[in-house]
Chains A and B, each alone.
Chain A
Amino acid sequence: MTVKTSTVQLRRSEPRSGLGGLILGAIAALLILLWVGSNGYKQTLVMSAVTYALIALGMYVPYLMAGSLSMAYSAYAGIGGYAVGLISTKTGLPMVVAWIIGPIVAAVLAVVLGLVTSRLSGFFLAAVTLLFGMAFTAFLIDAESITGGSGGLGNLRPLNLLGWTPTPYQMMVISVIIVCLTAFLLDRMRLSPWGVIVRTMRDAPRAVEAAGVRVPVLNLVALAIGAAIAAVGGALFTYTAGSITPETFTLNVVFLAIFMPLIGGSGTPWGAVAGAVIAVELTLNFPALETSGTLLLALGVLIILLVAPHGVIGYADKLRTRLWASLRKEPHGG
C-alpha cells in the first residue's frame, strides 16, 4: 500500500444521506421564522424567498445537474399560480387540487417545449425558452376570458386542507417546510444513481448514451421535474397572496433564479435556497438602496464569484474543512 497524502485524506467520501444539509437548513429556517414573528411585511418577504427558492430549486435539476439552461421558469411558476386561480374562480373543486394539477401541467409543458427545442443547447436554448416565457405572459394578458387579462384573477378562496384553513403565518411555515423538504429530497436525488447519471450527462453525454441511457429522454425528465417544482412555488405564492396577474412571475424572477445557486453555492440544492434568501434580502429588503437592489445583487454576485467561486455554502464548507484540518494537526505539532 502506498502512503496517502493529506490532500487525498481530505477528499473524503461524500456522505449520501443529505442529512447534514437538512439539519443546517432546518436550523436556518427556524431562525428565519423566529426573526419574522408576526410582522406581516417580513412574512411577505419570506413568501417571496420561498417562491424564489422553489423556482431556483426547479432550475437546479436541468440547469446545474443536467447542464441545459431553460429560461421558461416564469411560465412554469405562472402555471402553478394560475392553476390556483382558475380552480378557485372557475370550479368548485377544493383548492388543494391546484397543487396537483399545476405541477403536472407545467411538467407536460416542459416536456413539449423540451421536445421542440431538443436540437438546441446553450445560448440558443436559453433564447428560445426566454421567448416562450414572454409569449406565455402575452397569452395571459390576451386570453382575458380565461385568465382575467392583465388584471389577473383575484379574491381567491383560501387553501383548505381537510377542513383546516391555515392562517397566513401557518401558510408561511408550511411553505418553509416544503422548501426544506424539496431541497433535502433534491440533494438526495443528486447523490443517488439517478443524480449521478444526470450529472454525468452534463459533462459526458456520449458516455451516458453509450452506457444505455437515452440522453434526450433523461433530459426531458429532468426538465419536467424542474418545471413541477417551480409550479409548486408559484402555487404557494398565489395561495398566500390571494391573487395572480401576468406580472406576478416575470423574466426578472428567472434572471434572479439563475444567479441564486451561484450566490449560495451550486454544489448542493441548498445553495439555491441560500441564494434565494440573500437575493430577496438584497433586492427587496435592503434599507438604504431601495431601487438599486438589483444593481446591488449584481455587484454581490460579482464579488462572490471572485472570492468564493463555489458560493456561500462552498466557502463555508472550505472554511470548515480548513478549521477541521488545523484542529487535527494541533496534537501532532504540539
Chain B
Amino acid sequence: MAEQEILLVGRGLTKRYGGVTALSNVDFELRAGEVLGLVGPNGAGKTTLVDLISGAQPATAGELMLRGTKLTGPASRRARAGLARTFQYPQLALELSVRDNLLLGRAARRHATPWQMVVRAFAGALRPHAPADDAAIQEIADELGITGLDRLAGDLTLGEQRLVEVGRALGQDPLVLLLDEPFAGSDARGVEGIAEVIRTVQRRGHGVILVDHNVDLVASLVDRIMLLDRGQVAFNGDPRECLASPEMQRVYFGSDIDDETGEGTGDAPQAEVQDVRS
C-alpha cells in the first residue's frame, strides 16, 4: 500500500488528575483513509485520549497536529478544524427530534463566530427552515439506517441514540472521526450501519479512531490497533498480531494465563485493582 498522507499525529500526550496519571506519554499517527482501533480494559485511558484529542479536556502535556497544523484550543475550534466525535454516553438533546439532533452537526459550522451567532439568530427568525438541510439529513439517515426522524431522541434505545450521534458527527463532514464505544447497546443492524459509515469515511480518504471494549469486533474493522493499558501504549500495530500478542494476553488476563481463560477476548475483567498513582 502506498504511503498515505498523515492526517493526525499525537506526541507525548499526557493527562494527570492531581497525582493520578490517566494517560502517560502516548504517541500515535493516523493516516488518510486509515481506521485506528483503540482498545484496552476499563480505565486504560481510551476515553481520556479521545477527550484530549477532541479538546473536551486539556492535556497536561503533549501536542497534536492535524494535517501539519497544531491542534489547540477548545473542542469547538478543533471541530471546525476537522474533528468530529461521539460520546461514550450519548449526548443528545432528548426533548428534540432525531431530525433536530442530526441537524446540529450540519448547522454548527454556520455558527462559528460570535457575529455569525447573532446574524443566524435573526436570519433563523426570518427563514427558519432550509430544504437543503432536510435533504442532507435524510441522506445521512439513509446511510446509517435511521428511520422515524420525527421521534424524540429521548424515546430511542441506547443503540439508536449512538447511531444518531454518529450521524450528527458525519454531518460535520470531518477529516477525523472519533467514535467512542459506538457499538455498546447496538443490535446487529446498528453495528452494520456504523461499520458501513467507517468504510465510507475511509473511502473518502478521511480517518477514523474507533474505541471499543470488543477487541474482536474492533480488530475486524481497523487497519491498525493500539492497545492501552493503565494510560500507556502496550501495543501499536497490525490487528491480527495484536490479538495474538503477549501484551494482549497480559493486559486482559494478567501475566500468567491458565488454560481456563481460553482464547476469549472482549470485556474481560481486570486481573488486579488499578494502581496508577505515580
Residues of A within 8 A of B (CB): 4, 8, 11-14, 16-18, 185-186, 188-189, 191-197, 199-200, 202-204, 206-215, 217-218, 220-221, 224-225
User: Which residues of chain B come closer than 8 Å to A18, judged between CB atoms?
Assistant: 128
Q: Are A221 and B118 in contact (CB under 8 A)?
A: yes
Q: Give the interface SS of chain A, mostly helix, strand, loop or mixed.
A: helix
What's the minimum C-beta distance from A275 to chain B, rounded to whole angstroms? Answer: 19
Closest to A191 in B: B128
In the assembled complex, how far is the CB of residue B156 from the closest CB belonging to chain A, in whole angstroms? 12
Docked pose: A68 CA to B54 CA in angstroms:
25
Q: How far is the CA of A210 from the CA of B111 in the complex (A)?
A: 13
Residues of B within 8 A of A11 (CB): 150-152
Distance (whole angstroms) from the CB of A220 to the closest CB of chain B = 8
A204-B93 in contact (CB<8A): yes
B240 at the interface (CB under 8 A from A): no
Assess the B120–A210 pair: CB atoms within 8 A: no
- Contact pick for B111, options A185, A191, A197, A199, CB 8 Å: A197
Task: Provide the main secondary structure of the chain B interface.
Answer: helix
Q: Tell whether A188 pairs with B114 under 8 Å between CB atoms, given A14-B97, A196-B96, A213-B108.
A: no
Contact of B125 among A185, A202, A215 (CB under 8 A): A185
Give a binary string over B41-54; 1 marks a CB under 8 Å from any A CB, 0 the rest: 00000000000001
Q: State in angstroms the CA–CA spacing of A13 and B150 once bound together.
A: 6
- Min C-beta distance of B153 to chain A, whole Å: 9
Contact among A185, A188, A214, A218 with B74 in the assembled complex (CB-CB below 8 Å): A214
The answer to whether B84 and A211 touch across the interface, beta carbons within 8 angstroms, is yes
B87 within 8 A of partner (CB): yes
A193 neighbours in B (Cβ, 8 Å) = 103, 107, 110-111, 120, 124, 130, 133
A-B contacts, 23 listed (Cβ < 8 Å) = A8-B151, A16-B128, A188-B128, A192-B125, A193-B111, A193-B124, A194-B107, A194-B117, A194-B120, A196-B96, A197-B111, A199-B93, A200-B93, A203-B95, A207-B168, A209-B56, A209-B75, A209-B76, A211-B84, A212-B80, A214-B77, A215-B76, A224-B118
CB distance from A152 to the nearest CB of B (A): 33
Chain A residues lying within 8 Å of B232, measured Cβ to Cβ, are none
Interface of chain B residues 109 through 149 with chain A (CB within 8 A): 109-112, 114, 117-118, 120-130, 133, 148
B94 contacts A by Cβ under 8 Å = yes
Report the nearest B residue to A214, measured CB to CB: B76
Nearest CB of B to A14, in Å: 7
Judge whether A211 and B96 touch: CB under 8 Å. no
Taking beta carbons and an 8 Å cutoff, which residues of B are in contact with A?
Answer: 54, 56, 74-77, 79-80, 84-85, 87, 91-97, 99-101, 103-105, 107-112, 114, 117-118, 120-130, 133, 148, 150-152, 165, 168, 172
B150 touches A188 (CB 8 A): no
B85 near A192 with CB under 8 A, answer no
Bound CA span A185–B103, Å = 20
Compute how far the CA of A202 lies from the CA of B124 in the bound complex, rounded to whole angstroms: 19
In the complex, which residues of chain A have a beta carbon less than 8 angstroms from the beta carbon of B152?
A: 11
Interface hub of A4, A193, A208, A224 (most chain B Cβ within 10 A): A193
Q: Rank and list the top 4 A-B pairs by shortest CB-CB distance, nearest first.
A: A192-B124, A193-B107, A212-B79, A211-B108
Known: A14-B97, A206-B75, A207-B87. 15 other contacts (CB 8 A): A17-B128, A191-B129, A192-B128, A196-B93, A199-B95, A200-B93, A202-B93, A204-B91, A204-B93, A208-B108, A209-B79, A210-B91, A211-B84, A214-B74, A214-B77
- Closest chain B CB from A44 CB (angstroms): 30
> A194 to B104, Cβ gap below 8 A?
no
Contacts of B107 in A (CB 8 A): 193-194, 196-197
Bound together, the chains give a CA A126 to CA B238 distance in angstroms of 54
For residue B122, which residues in chain A have a CB less than 8 angstroms away from its CB? 189
Residue of B104, B127, B148 touching A208 (CB-CB under 8 A): B104
Task: Tell me, rounded to whole Å, the shortest Cβ–Cβ distance linking A217 to chain B.
Answer: 5
Which residue of chain B has its CB nearest to the CB of A11? Answer: B150
